[in-house]
Amino acid sequence: MDAVSSAYDCSFKRNQRGISAPHASENRTNLLKLAIGIIPGIIGISTPRPRTSSTKRAIGAYLIADQLTIVGLGETVAVNLGINSNVILWAGLVIVALITSLVVVTVGNIPFIGLVVPNIVSRIMGDKLRAGLPAVALLGAALVLLCDVIGRVIVFPFEIPVATVFGVLGTVLFLGLLMRQPAR
C-alpha cells in the first residue's frame, strides 16, 4: 500500500463521547507515511539513482570515436577503410542523443557548452576525437564549475543561475572563436 492511500485508510474508533474518530497512534503513523511519500517530491528532493546508463553510453561513444573520426573524413574514405558509414553515423547519433537527453534531464539546459567547449579543444588538440573526448569532459566540467562560482560570488547573498553566466561567457567565447584567424 502506498503512502497516499494508507494515509486515508484510518480505522475509526469510538471515543468517550461516542464520536467516531481515527485512533491517535494510527493517525500519526499514517500522517508520517503521507509526509514521507509526498513532501520530498513537492520540495524537489529525489532519491539518488545510479547513472549506469549514461556511463555505458559514454563508454560506447569513446569506443567508436576513431570510427566516427574516419567517417568524418568522408564516405569514400570510410568505405575504402572498410567502415560501414551509415551504421557508425546512426550509432553515433543515437549515443549522442541519449547522452544529451540524460544530461539535460539531470543538469538542465546550459547554453553554448556543447558548441564552445569542443571547438576550443579541437583548436588546441586537433581533430583526434579519442584524445579530445576526455579533454572536452574536463574543460566542460571546469567551465561549468567556474560559472557556478561566478554566479554565487557576483551578487553574494543571491545566486545567478549557471545557465545565465555560461550564456554570457559562452557568447563571448564563441564570438572570439569566430573572429579569430585559423592557425596556419
pLDDT at 18: 53
More confident residue, 129 or 174: 174
pTM over 0.85: no
What is the distance between the alpha carbons of residues 125 and 11, in angstroms, rounded to a whole number? 70
Q: What is the mean pLDDT of residues 76-96?
A: 89
The better pLDDT of the pair 35, 179 is held by 179
Provide the mean pLDDT of the chain.
Answer: 76
What integer pLDDT is reported at residue 157 of this predicted model? 85
Give the whole-number percent of the chain exceeding pLDDT 70: 69
Long-range contacts of 177-181 (CB under 8 A, 24+ apart): 177/116, 177/119, 177/120, 177/123
Say what the pLDDT of residue 3 is.
Answer: 45
- Domain borders along the chain are 3-43, 52-106, 108-184
pLDDT in tens, 141-174: 999 999 999 999 998 888 889 889 999 998 998 8
Angle between helices 113-125 and 162-179 (to 10 degrees): 40
